[in-house]
């Protein structure tokens, strides 16, 4: 057991270290285990891909849409983990000569995110070896990281906490229970979820610590502005990738000549991405609770207003995500 000091926060950091040691896994030995993707399997379940909102798709087309979105799902995590790792290294500075338990928790967190990026790069190679040519993921992790890290730490930690909470709720509510899912895809997100559970606790601790440094509501107003701008940046990425993925899907399925279906596929993929990467996290009770502790009613209303145009992006079926 890691030694705990008296303060509750340090005990929470210490518990993440214990859990991190207990669940630690290796990419090849535990996750990939010499396997590759089988295109007979679903990758991303309907509760996330919303592929069931295009009822005219043949079973093979439905499955292919889940694979295109699943490939992007892995790439999106690899993308955000670049800025998450960099920000965590930066906030660890406050603990360098302070509490060594907090420092160790954050160092382990960063090490895990580096491993996750490697895992998602490996998945992209495996998916690329089997899926038809033409898939594109042109978003550059360092470009996104440069934009995100240009915003204040409070806002980056808020976005990070949101991401790490939705990554867990997606696994618990959707991926874990799905049938006929690719065993490799499912294992990747099972093992990822095991380490993300610790990350979300550290995000909350660091976000609260950062919040306590703010000395006026004006500073918090500016931090909320930054968070709204980050959500806008994420949505810009989603619009570009939804367009690329819909075009790839339509071209492989030979459906591009049908204007009505082209529009429906484009709209559904964008709706699915807004659901996956923005709305499902914003609706996550633990995120709402963490945010409500830090912002005023007026600041919360501003965030809700910014999310308003995206709030349509929830599954049409009332199944859990
Ligand atoms: Fe991760
Ligand atoms: Fe993480």
pLDDT tens digits along 175-213: 999 988 999 999 999 999 999 999 999 999 999 999 999
In the predicted model, what is the mean pLDDT of the chain? 95
Task: Tell me which ligand sits closest to the C-alpha of residue 198.
Answer: 2
In 3D space, the residue among 5, 27, 22, 24 whose CA is nearest the CA of residue 14 turns out to be 5
Distance 113 CA to ligand 2 centre (A): 6
Distance 196 CA to ligand 1 centre (A): 6
Q: Check residue 7 and give its pLDDT.
A: 64
In the DSSP assignment, the letter for residue 257 is T
89, two tokens: 């290294």
Task: Tell me which ligand sits closest to the C-alpha of residue 165.
Answer: 2
Classify residue 312 as exposed, middle or buried by CB count within 10 Å of its CB (0-12, 13-18, 19+).
Answer: exposed
Name the domain count of the chain: 1
The Cα 241–Cα 237 span in angstroms is 6
Task: Tell me which ligand sits closest to the C-alpha of residue 192.
Answer: 1
Distance 169 CA to ligand 1 centre (A): 14
**Rounded to the nearest 5°, which phi and psi values hold at 22?**
-70, -40
Beta bridge partners of 42: 181
Residue 281 resides in a domain: yes
Task: Tell me which ligand sits closest to the C-alpha of residue 84.
Answer: 2
Task: Tell me which ligand sits closest to the C-alpha of residue 200.
Answer: 2
Q: Is the pLDDT of residue 321 over 70?
A: no
Segments of 53-144 assigned E as strands: none
Q: Is the pLDDT of residue 244 over 50?
A: yes
Task: Tell me which ligand sits closest to the C-alpha of residue 78.
Answer: 1
Beta bridge partners of 181: 42
Residue 3 resides in a domain: no
Indicate the helix (H) or strand (E) that contains 105: helix 100-130
- Sign of the C-alpha dihedral computed for residues 34, 40, 44 and 45 taken in this order: negative
Q: What is the pLDDT of residues 136-164, one digit of tens each?
A: 999 999 999 999 999 999 999 999 999 99
Residue 156 resides in a domain: yes
The Cα 119–Cα 124 span in angstroms is 9
Q: Which residues surround ligand 1, an ion (CB under 5 A)?
A: 116
Residue 19 resides in a domain: no
Q: How far from each other are the two terminal CA atoms of the chain, in whole angstroms?
A: 36
- Residue 216, helix vs strand vs coil: coil
Distance 251 CA to ligand 1 centre (A): 32
Whole-prediction pTM value? Answer: 0.95
**Rounded to the nearest 5°, which phi and psi values hold at 181?**
-80, 150
Residue 33 resides in a domain: no
In 3D space, the residue among 29, 121, 43, 110 whose CA is nearest the CA of residue 77 turns out to be 121
Distance 27 CA to ligand 1 centre (A): 13
Residue 172 resides in a domain: yes
Distance 31 CA to ligand 1 centre (A): 14
The Cα 43–Cα 25 span in angstroms is 22
Distance 106 CA to ligand 1 centre (A): 13
What CATH number is associated with residue 76? Answer: 1.10.620.20
Distance 105 CA to ligand 2 centre (A): 12
Distance 164 CA to ligand 1 centre (A): 8
Distance 202 CA to ligand 1 centre (A): 13
Domain with 77 in it:
38-310
Distance 116 CA to ligand 1 centre (A): 5
Distance 115 CA to ligand 2 centre (A): 10
224, two tokens: 């909320």
Residue 174 burial (CB count, 10 A): 23
Q: What DSSP letter does each residue of 157-214 carry, written as one string?
A: HHHHHHHHHHHHHHIIIIITT-SSB-HHHHHHHHHHHHHHHHHHHHHHHHHHHHHHH-
Distance 252 CA to ligand 1 centre (A): 31
Q: Is the pLDDT of residue 77 over 50?
A: yes
Q: What is the pLDDT of residues 205-232, one digit of tens each?
A: 999 999 999 999 999 999 999 999 999 9
Classify residue 101 as exposed, middle or buried by CB count within 10 Å of its CB (0-12, 13-18, 19+).
Answer: buried
The Cα 116–Cα 204 span in angstroms is 20
Residue 6 resides in a domain: no
Distance 109 CA to ligand 1 centre (A): 9
In the DSSP assignment, the letter for residue 4 is P
Distance 20 CA to ligand 2 centre (A): 12
Task: Tell me which ligand sits closest to the C-alpha of residue 117.
Answer: 1
Task: Tell me which ligand sits closest to the C-alpha of residue 87.
Answer: 2
Q: What is the pLDDT of residues 34-50, one digit of tens each?
A: 999 999 999 999 999 99
The Cα 200–Cα 208 span in angstroms is 12
Q: Check residue 251 and give its pLDDT.
A: 96
The Cα 32–Cα 113 span in angstroms is 17
Judge contact between 215 and 118, C-beta under 8 A.
Answer: no
The Cα 95–Cα 110 span in angstroms is 14
Distance 112 CA to ligand 1 centre (A): 7
Task: Tell me which ligand sits closest to the C-alpha of residue 197.
Answer: 2
Judge contact between 46 and 264, C-beta under 8 A.
Answer: no
In the DSSP assignment, the letter for residue 177 is T
Residue 95 resides in a domain: yes
């Amino acid at each position: 057991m890691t030694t705990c000091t008296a303060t509750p926060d340090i005990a929470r950091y210490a518990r993440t270290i214990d859990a991190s040691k207990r669940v630690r896994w290796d990419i090849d030995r535990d996750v990939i285990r010499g396997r590759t993707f089988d295109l007979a399997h679903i990758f991303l379940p309907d509760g996330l891909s919303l592929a069931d909102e295009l009822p005219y798709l043949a079973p093979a087309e439905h499955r292919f849409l889940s694979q295109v979105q699943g490939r992007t799902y892995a790439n999106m995590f690899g993308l955000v983990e670049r800025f998450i790792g960099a920000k965590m290294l930066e906030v660890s500075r406050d603990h360098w000569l302070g509490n060594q338990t907090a420092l160790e928790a954050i160092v382990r967190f960063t090490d895990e995110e580096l491993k996750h990026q490697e895992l998602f790069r490996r998945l992209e190679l495996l998916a690329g070896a089997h899926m038809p040519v033409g898939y594109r993921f042109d978003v550059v992790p360092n470009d996104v990281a440069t934009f995100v890290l240009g915003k204040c730490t409070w806002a980056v930690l808020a976005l990070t906490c949101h991401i790490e909470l939705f990554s867990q709720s997606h696994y618990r509510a959707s991926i874990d229970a799905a049938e006929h899912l690719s065993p490799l895809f499912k294992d990747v997100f099972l093992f990822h979820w095991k380490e993300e559970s610790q990350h979300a606790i550290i995000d909350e601790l660091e976000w609260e610590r950062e919040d306590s440094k703010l000395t006026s509501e004006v500073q918090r107003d500016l931090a909320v502005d930054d968070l709204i701008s980050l959500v806008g940046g994420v949505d810009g990425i989603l619009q570009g990738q939804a367009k690329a993925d819909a075009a790839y899907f339509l071209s492989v399925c030979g459906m591009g000549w049908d204007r009505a279906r082209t529009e429906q596929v484009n709209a559904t993929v964008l709706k699915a991405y807004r659901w996956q990467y923005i709305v499902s996290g914003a609706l996550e009770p633990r995120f709402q609770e963490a945010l409500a502790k830090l912002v005023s009613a007026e600041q919360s209303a501003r965030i809700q207003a910014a999310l308003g145009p995206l709030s349509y992006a929830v599954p049409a079926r009332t199944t859990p995500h």
